[in-house]
Amino acid sequence: MPTTTWNRHHILSLADFTTAEYDTVLQTAASFQEVLSRRTKKVPTLQGQVVANLFFESSTRTRSSFELAAKRLSADTLNFAAATSSMTKGETILDTAKTYLAMGTDIMVVRHREAGVPNAIAAEMDRLGVRVSVLNAGDGQHEHPSQALLDLFTICTLIDPASPRLELLKGKKIAIVGDILHSRVARSNIWSLIASGAEVHLAAPPTLLPKLFAEYISEESGARSQESEVRSYSPNPQLFLHWQLEPALQNADFVMTLRLQKERMTAHLLPSLREYHQLFGITRTKLQLCKPNVKVLHPGPVNRGVEISSELMDDPEFSLIQSQVTSGVAVRMALLYLLGSGKA
């Protein structure tokens, strides 16, 4: 395991992550990936600790990944489901969290459809003076730190399997395509990729990528690109916004395509899914604009034939989607380990 000291008590956002913290997560995840390749895939690192998965929103990959990660670390797990909980009888979110606190929970993994809920629970735990860590597993349109970290790990281990580190992405061109307006994954990925020194190109229809999104990075050094002002905008030397797909894909090293967040859309922002796929769907033909060894990622779940063609999704020559799912267990083991190792 890396010897770097870890001082972060909660993991709620990547906005203030340091290079050392990114590298610690990547190196720790690499160690656990080696553990997961063994015949015995369990270590006693968090034995005796309790990890509560408080998922107030439906999830398959994230929830299962965190549960398996906790079990691989020998922690006891508690799984919360809002539909069968006392919240249906009027219990508040903070009361639910304090109920799990009373059961001896050490780490709370929180997912909610409203932004800020993990932060509110973390603030309440701090106010109570208890040593309970909160890990944001996705909150509304805010952030999804663990997904961005596993995306980072997937890419870095592809480049250097023996020593994944942030600097490997410096100068790489990475396109993020899709429903960026509603995507917490995009927000977290922007923080991590900008920190790595990568060049990040966001591409989406104007209704799903307003200029207002630029304020998540910087507006101080804003400058118009040489393309049409209607089609492209650069709010930061490393961040570029495009309302057409082609300039984002041109010579890209990696393409991250995002699911259309239909459940979060409050208006009819697209004419049709068919038109969206024609203009922004990722296919083998469109990948010809990228570098020859380009790879494609998607956080899932995937709308086949909408964000990405079905044949491309299943093509191991280009697709890293299954690798992302595998990486998720190792990365979430690393996060739970880093938060829980100081509680033993």
**The tokens of 97 are what?**
């969290």
Provide CB contacts within 8 A for 100, sequence distance 6+: 52, 54, 78, 80, 108
Query: Does residue 187 have a known ligand-binding role?
Result: no
89 is in an annotated binding site: yes
Closest by CA to 42, choosing from 65, 73, 69, 66, is 73
Find out whether 61 is annotated in a ligand binding site: yes
Q: Name the DSSP class of 239.
A: E
Distance CA 225, CA 241 (A): 9
Pairing assessment for the beta strands 173-177 and 254-257 based on DSSP bridges: parallel
Is 184 annotated as ligand-binding?
yes
Q: Compute the distance between CA of residue 94 and CA of residue 100 in angstroms, rounded to an integer.
A: 10
d(C-alpha 211, C-alpha 222), whole Å:
11
- 128 to 13, 96, 112, 241: CA distances (angstroms): 22, 15, 22, 43
- For the chain, helix (H) and strand (E) counts, in that order, are 11, 10
Q: Is 72 annotated as a binding residue?
A: no
170 marked ligand binding residue: no
Q: Is 197 left (phi over 0), alpha (psi -120 to 50) or beta?
A: left
Q: Is 172 annotated as a binding residue?
A: no
Q: Does residue 129 sit in helix, strand or coil?
A: coil
48 labeled binding residue: no
Do 100 and 127 touch, CB atoms closer than 8 A?
A: no
Q: What's the angle, vertex CA 257, arms to CA 318 and CA 222, rounded to 5?
A: 120
Cβ neighbours of residue 120 under 8 Å, at least 6 residues apart? 93, 94
Q: How far does CA 91 lie from the centroid of its chain?
A: 29
Closest CA to 59 of 192, 184, 193: 184
Residue 211 marked ligand-binding: no
Residue 147 among known ligand-binding residues: yes
- Identify any residues that bridge with 110 across adjacent strands, giving them in sequence order: 54, 136
Residues making up the annotated binding site for L-aspartate are 89, 184, 259
Q: Which residues fall in the annotated binding site?
A: 61-62, 89, 111, 144, 147, 184, 259, 300-301
Binding annotation for carbamoyl phosphate = 61-62, 111, 144, 147, 300-301
